[in-house]
């Protein structure tokens, strides 16, 4: 595995992130709040990726954008699933967010500091896995009344689950692997990137389904009838 191939996968990831952000923010006023938040969720990594050169030029630590992005992304994804669960379990989400932010602060200033905060990323992935599993359980209980291929969050949650489950242990042991198996580190992170590409393809399907619903809905729904709830239909 060469650095060129790794960088190529990173560029593909950024292009897919940008595409998802664009698809999520088209027809902005007619999109569900969750989809708008997904647009922001995938826009921020693109901004962070291209800000690295600016940090490097200023002589600043290049991991600052990615470490800050961990907290922003986690807050957005918690808000998305809080809305998806119809604002139930508010106190659970609040406690999880507070505990996560405390850990993020301690890790970035006292533990891993300005190195990539892999411990924080691992915890974030674990919480995302739980959210996805709970969502799928909720979906399965209503499965007879649903067409899964028409549910945007089904595709999005599938992508998140694949990537989070695959990356959880990689992030958890990233510091160890980098220290003792440095020569193979590029292989591990390329595998991570390939997982992320798979995730993004699934999410593109999800936001495309939602975009199709937005375009088709006005033709099928009488004027004045709300489209609310289309994410879960």
pLDDT tens readout for residues 20-60 = 999 999 999 999 999 999 999 999 999 999 888 777 667 77
| Residue 227 CB coordination number (10 Å) | 16
Q: Phi, psi at residue 204, to the nearest 5°?
A: -60, -40
Q: Which residue has the tokens 């960088």?
A: 7
How is the chain split into domains, by residue range?
Answer: 3-232
Helix axes 64-84, 90-106, angle to 10 degrees: 170
DSSP string, 113-130: TTS--HHHHHHHHHHHHH
Q: What is the pLDDT of residue 123?
A: 96
Q: Tell me how far apart the alpha carbons of residues 64 and 70 are, in angstroms, rounded to a whole number.
A: 10
Nearest CA to 80 among 203, 171, 165, 201? 203
Token readout for 80 is 């998305």
Is residue 185 scored above 80 in pLDDT? no
Q: How far is CA 71 from the centre of its chain?
A: 12
Q: What is the pLDDT of residue 186?
A: 78
Q: What is the pLDDT of residue 61?
A: 75
184-220 exposure pattern, b = at least 16 Cβ within 10 A, e = fewer: ebeebbbebbebbeebbebbbbbbebbbebbeeeeee
Please return the burial class of 167, using the count of CB atoms within 10 Å of its CB with bins 0-12, 13-18 and 19+.
Answer: buried
Are residues 195 and 167 in contact, defined by beta-carbon separation less than 8 angstroms? yes
Q: Is the dihedral of CA 215, 221, 226, 230 positive or negative?
A: negative
Confidence of residue 229 (pLDDT cuts 50, 70, 90): very low
Q: Tell me how far apart the alpha carbons of residues 128 and 137 are, in angstroms, rounded to a whole number.
A: 14
pLDDT tens readout for residues 82-138 = 999 999 999 999 999 999 999 999 999 999 888 889 999 999 999 999 999 999 999
Any idea which of 88-92, 187-191, 227-231 has the lowest mean pLDDT?
A: 227-231
According to DSSP, residue 89 is labeled S
Q: Tell me how far apart the alpha carbons of residues 103 and 106 are, in angstroms, rounded to a whole number.
A: 5
Token readout for 226 is 């709300």
Q: What is the pLDDT of residue 39?
A: 97
Q: Tell me the pTM.
A: 0.88
């Amino acid at each position: 595995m060469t650095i060129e191939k790794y960088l190529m996968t990173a560029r593909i990831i950024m292009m897919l992130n940008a595409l998802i952000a664009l698809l999520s923010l088209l027809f902005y006023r007619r999109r569900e709040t969750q989809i708008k938040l997904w647009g922001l969720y995938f826009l921020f990594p693109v901004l962070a990726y291209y800000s690295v050169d600016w940090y490097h030029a200023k002589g600043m630590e290049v991991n600052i954008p990615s470490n800050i992005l961990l907290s922003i992304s986690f807050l957005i994804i918690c808000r998305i699933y809080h809305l998806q669960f119809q604002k139930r379990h508010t106190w659970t989400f609040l406690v999880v967010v507070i505990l996560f932010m405390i850990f993020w602060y301690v890790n970035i200033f006292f533990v891993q500091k300005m190195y990539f905060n892999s411990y924080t990323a691992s915890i974030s992935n674990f919480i995302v896995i739980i959210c996805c599993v709970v969502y799928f359980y909720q979906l399965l209980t209503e499965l007879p009344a649903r067409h899964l291929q028409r549910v945007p969050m089904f595709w999005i949650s599938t992508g998140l689950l694949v990537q989070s489950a695959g990356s959880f242990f990689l992030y958890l042991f990233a510091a160890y692997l980098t220290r003792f198996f440095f020569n193979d580190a590029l292989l591990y992170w390329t595998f991570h990137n390939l997982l992320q590409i798979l995730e993004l393809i699934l999410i593109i399907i999800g936001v495309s389904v939602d975009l199709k619903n937005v375009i088709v809905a006005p033709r099928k729904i009488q004027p004045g009838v709300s489209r609310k709830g289309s994410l879960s239909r």
